[in-house]
A and B are shown apart, each in its own frame.
Chain A
Amino acid sequence: MGELLRLEHLTRNFGGFTAVSDLSFHVDEGEVLGLVGPNGAGKTTTFNLVTGFLKPTSGRVVFRGEDVTGLPPHQLARRGLVRTFQHTRVFAALSVEENVRVASHMRERGGPLRALFGAAPAEREALREHVAAVLQTVGLSGRRGDLAGGLAYGEQRVLEIALALAAAPRLLLLDEPFAGMNETESSRTMDLIHAIRAAGTTVLVIDHHMRTMARGCDRLVVVDYGVKLAEGEPEAVTNDERVIRAYMGASEELRAPQPVRGGPSGAGVVGGVSTPELQVGTADVLRFEGVSVSYGRVRALQDVDLRVGRGEIVALVGANGAGKTTALRAVSGLLALGSGRIELLGRPVAGLGPAARVRLGLAHCPEGREIFPRMSVRENLEMGVPVGPVDETVLEHVYELFPRLRERTWQSAGSLSGGEQQMLAIGRALMSSPQLLLLDEPTLGLAPLLAREVGEALLRLNDEGVSVLLVEQNAVLALAVAHRAYVLENGNIALSGPAAELREDDAIKRVYLGA
């Protein structure tokens, strides 16, 4: 068994940000190699570098002894290096069979004569057999006449693998094949991967689903911040201290949140501006009762009960795809509920649009630091005021909370660092003097020091009476700052309780690492 693919000191910068840094590893012929790492670790960038969708800043990609660095994707495909995509890509408007036929492009012979007069019957028959064999392998023969866009999500993902197989790869690269799959679907897909390997194709698969990957791959390479952390047998890798830290997040000694002041008396106060009193008798600012949400046929949340008390920081933790972001979007009215009800600040929100919910006292700070890059810091903050003039005292208060923003008032937001952009996004959410702040992955992609700064700001904010529902992959940080936490797994609440207790619970490690 020789070496099929080798990455040599691969580096890729985006502006000032290094997504992949001096990364080297190899794939042996006939193995299933897993490339794992938390969200934002640089896995997909690595994939794009290997498959020609991105050119490396430096370093080489060697495939079967040939330097293929920088070749366009279709030429790599012709050499036997074929990939799938993270977000399902199939030809939605074509039938399943047509999809595989199209993907068999390299098996077919072309030329103007064949185009005008058709291919010879023997050639057409060979193509038909090839398509049938591929559909047989992945188990989609029964759906060959159906429109790909109408397939269930899981079937589309399988079809995507079929498209890659139709191109007859030597090395198949799968980008997050388990994303959005439940346990059964994941293990069935892993079986398919093993069947593909048994048929002679080497497989490189990336995913952050450590549990499935550790079970199914021969070897694992772990990356974080674009750097290789560990490489080797799954067992050794999952017990590596650095890997555990990368997955669970580092704890940088944050103080505990102040105990919640009881009673409905404490109305939200931000920057000396009081927000409307709660209706008497409700201590919860947010309440989920049996909430379910689906995307098409994918169940994202299933019968979830959850509450955020006044003055509480509640963390919602769990692996990627567990349904955390969906929960936030349901609160802010960006998604329709399948069933169940949500109460916000003592009022049922059914029928209220996102803007109406903001006026009730809700602010949502979405994942990915959505700021207006061409506007100045101050203009960005002003955008956070839904109606009416900008209240200077609130602005002043945001600057007190994030002194870095005051220093950069007139700088364009696009030129801020990642951490500063995150502070700006939170600051903007605070401009409406919310009573409940929804925060989605505020520390994603931030260096530990900046993550800690965001955590501290959160605590100060909470001291002033703002309730927070915090979604985080960095479980250690989230559990350090929160009063209580819920652990989501595949759309269900797997665990809940006081954050301090959950931190000590081994079960949470299982959710993240499957250890």
Chain B
Amino acid sequence: MRWSLVWLVLGAAAAIAAPHVFDSLTARHLLVLIAINVILVSSLDLLIGGAGLLSLGHAGFMGVGAYASALLVKAGWAFPLGIVAALVAAAVAGLVVGVPALRLKGHYFSVVTFIVGIIITILMTNMVDLTRGPMGLTGIPFARLELFGWEHTFRTIIEKVGYYYLTLVFVALALLLRWRLGRSRFGRALAAIKGDENLAESVGIATYRTKVTAFVIAAAVAGVAGALYAHYAVFLSPDSFTFVDSFDLFVMNLLGGAGTVLGPVVGPTFLVVVSSLLRNLSPALSHVVYGVILIVVIVVLPSGIVGGVRNVAARLQGGAGRGRAGDAEAGSGSGQRAG
């Protein structure tokens, strides 16, 4: 407990110091992107790490939030209200998708979320009157905050540090939410669903309702991340929320370590940094090398970077007592209903 407090303080200090250590405009840009991705991945981890629900359309909910806030703030709403609107719009989208999709299990659920992600992109492209479609939405106002007479506009094109800190506040909230939910009765119910849905049902857990709730929460948080992105980039196009982006989030989650506290921080940081370094090195080869790195990491660290580090640490302490979760899961059978 004391150690995790130390890590928390160190982590927060590093996050606060980062834009001053890496003070180029590019580095600061990457820091904002990492922060937004951490929010996205921590919400996705509620589904993947928390409940074992492999959702492959998460960028779609981010897009819903992004367009909701961008359009409303453009129409004159205040920026904080735009954030709230993004949250509500994405939550509603999550409910509309989750209610039918979660009737399905396993791969079927994943395939449906994948398709829903594509449909959301298609809608954004084709609802030209609202979104301006493939031309992209321009003229999105910068975020503007008014607090007790203090007032600030985050002109993110030239000044990134302020917006980075604003995003960092939401990162802290998202991580706190993920951590608290994981330790609540709700989180334990999700863990039960991940472990064995029939068994969960038999000890009185309303599995379907619990899954829908988790799906709505995850979508809502992704919507907030979308709003933060909209007022950072001040330009939106459907290209930013495709299934490729959903897949990237999925990879970040697995890479960092699904179901771990730090995984949603480590995954996006690692991936954003590595892919940008590679692009500087050789744009042509970057995708190939990126793929190879992913394969290596996933083969060597099946439980993600955080899970891998934890296993090594446990082995160094001589504590071979707790086996890897993956090994143990092989034992539990899948549902056989008919007698």
Contacts and interface: CB of A to CB of B under 8 A. Distances in A.
A208 B178 CA distance: 46
B68 interface: no
Contact of B180 (A101, A102, A115, A145): A115
A47 B336 CA distance: 13
A47 B183 contact: no
Given A53-B337, A92-B332, A93-B328, A106 B192 contact: no
Contacts of A45: 338-339
A74 B185 contact: no
A211 B232 CA distance: 73
Contact of B192 (A46, A54, A91, A148): A91
Nearest to A83: B202
Given A92-B331, A105-B192, A72 B199 contact: no
A44 B195 CA distance: 22
Given A14-B338, A87-B333, A89-B332, A105 B204 contact: yes
Contact of A102 (B188, B201, B322, B338): B188
Contacts, number: 146
B317 interface: no
A247 B308 CA distance: 53
A227 to B, nearest CB: 15
B328 A147 contact: yes
| Interface SS of B by simple majority | helix
A211 B186 CA distance: 43
A118 interface: yes
A93 B333 CA distance: 13
B185 A108 contact: yes
A45 B338 CA distance: 6
A232 interface: no
Contact of A105 (B183, B185, B321, B322): B185
| Interface hub of B189, B195, B198 (most chain A Cβ within 10 A) | B195
Contacts of A387: none
Interface residues of B, number: 41
A116 B184 CA distance: 8
Contact of B323 (A110, A114, A116, A149): A149
Interface string B152-179: 0000000000000000000000000100
Nearest to B337: A53
B78 to A, nearest CB: 25
| Chain A interface bracket (under 10, 10 to 19, 20 to 34, 35 or more) | 35 or more
B328 A148 contact: yes
A77 B323 contact: no
Contacts of A48: 337-339
Nearest to A87: B333
B181 interface: yes
Interface in B289-339: 321-323, 325-333, 336-339
Interface in A14-70: 14, 19, 42-48, 51, 53-54
- The list of the 10 closest CB pairs from A to B, nearest first, reads A149-B328, A45-B339, A44-B339, A91-B195, A77-B204, A115-B184, A93-B325, A92-B328, A106-B204, A73-B201
Interface of B: 177, 180-181, 183-189, 191-192, 194-196, 198-207, 321-323, 325-333, 336-339
Interface of A: 14, 19, 42-48, 51, 53-54, 72-75, 77-78, 82-85, 87-94, 98, 101-106, 108-110, 114-119, 145-150, 156, 163-164, 166-167
27 contacts: A45-B338, A54-B339, A73-B198, A73-B201, A74-B205, A77-B201, A77-B202, A83-B202, A90-B332, A91-B191, A91-B196, A92-B195, A92-B331, A98-B191, A101-B188, A102-B188, A102-B189, A105-B204, A106-B204, A114-B185, A117-B180, A118-B184, A119-B185, A147-B328, A149-B323, A150-B328, A167-B204
Given A89-B196, A89-B199, A116-B180, 20 more contacts: A54-B337, A72-B201, A72-B206, A74-B201, A77-B203, A84-B202, A88-B332, A91-B195, A92-B330, A94-B191, A98-B188, A102-B192, A115-B180, A115-B181, A116-B184, A118-B183, A147-B328, A148-B328, A149-B323, A163-B199
